[in-house]
Amino acid sequence: MKKILVLTLIAMCSYSVFAFELNTLIDSPTAGLMQKGEAEIAAKLYKNNGLVLGTKIGLFPRFMLGVNYGAEQVVGNENPLWHDRVEFNCKLRFLDESAQLPAIALGYDSQGHGEYDPDNRRYDIKSKGAFLVASKNYFFLGNVGFHLGANYSLEHKDEEEDKDINLFAGFDKSIGDMFVLLAEYDTAWNDNKSNMTEGKGFLNAAMNIHFTEYLVLKIAFYDLLQNRIDTEGCDRTLSLYYNMTF
């Protein structure tokens, strides 16, 4: 009986590991990468009929590159408010994960969350900018991942704006072969002097639903602490990801 139980637990653990690495939690990066020859196409729906389209490509074994572009008022009878610029992201992993050590990656991401304010040159939640992140995964009835990083956002209009180095942390937990629960916390030290925030930081949570190995729906809830003064309850978004190899 004990042998059967052990074999069942091992099977559950191995069955719930997906074919590709988790390279982002909700908005916070992980040390995971798109491998060489892998690609991801994403569409994110957010408030004010906003839509961001993006793609990421694994160019080399330790390097990936991505691009995003979006607008608000995409759906409806008003003119779309196209963002002023195309956003880029890249990541280089210089230490792979081992039994003792986490994976460590260095990267850059200029895509923030929510509406883009051209006057203040920022998103509702600032982009990570330059970042350093470490990730460690364990097996316990599936995969459990822990992630910790620091970042410096370039979203500041002038010298008087908050330019502090920021910290973020998060985790992911797979449930069977279909669901992954995610949570992350951003200290928002680089945004606590703004008259739009209350200094609580940003707590986000989400669920990934893997319909197939390649098609994923993410249901995300941003700003659960209502750090932004214009947040009521939370900021709800839907994202769809399609993963492929070439």
From the number of C-beta atoms within 10 Å of its C-beta (0-12, 13-18, 19+), residue 36 rates as middle
Q: Determine the pLDDT at residue 9.
A: 44
pLDDT tens-place string over residues 100-146: 999 999 999 999 999 998 888 889 999 999 999 999 999 988 999 99
In whole angstroms, what is the distance from residue 230 CA to residue 244 CA? 38
Q: Determine the pLDDT at residue 10.
A: 46
Q: Determine the pLDDT at residue 49.
A: 93
Q: How many CA atoms lie within 13 A of 74 on its CB side?
A: 17
Q: pLDDT tens digits, the chain, 246 residues: what are they?
A: 555 444 444 444 444 444 457 999 999 999 999 989 999 999 999 999 999 999 999 999 899 999 999 999 998 888 999 998 999 999 999 999 999 999 999 999 999 999 998 888 889 999 999 999 999 999 988 999 999 999 999 987 755 567 789 999 999 999 998 999 999 999 999 988 778 888 899 999 999 999 998 999 999 999 999 999 988 889 999 999 999 998
Q: What is the model's pTM?
A: 0.88
Q: Determine the pLDDT at residue 70.
A: 95
* Answer CATH for 2-245 from 2.20.28.10, 3.30.420.130, 2.40.160.40, 1.10.3720.10: 2.40.160.40
Asked whether the beta carbons of 33 and 105 are under 8 A apart, the reply is yes
Name the token pair of 23: 């390279």
Contacts of 80 by beta carbon, 8 Å cutoff, 6+ apart: 71, 72, 73, 74
Contacts of 197 by beta carbon, 8 Å cutoff, 6+ apart: 188, 191, 227, 228, 229
Q: Determine the pLDDT at residue 185.
A: 98
In whole angstroms, what is the distance from residue 116 CA to residue 223 CA? 17
For residue 79, which amino acid is it?
A: N
In whole angstroms, what is the distance from residue 30 CA to residue 182 CA? 12
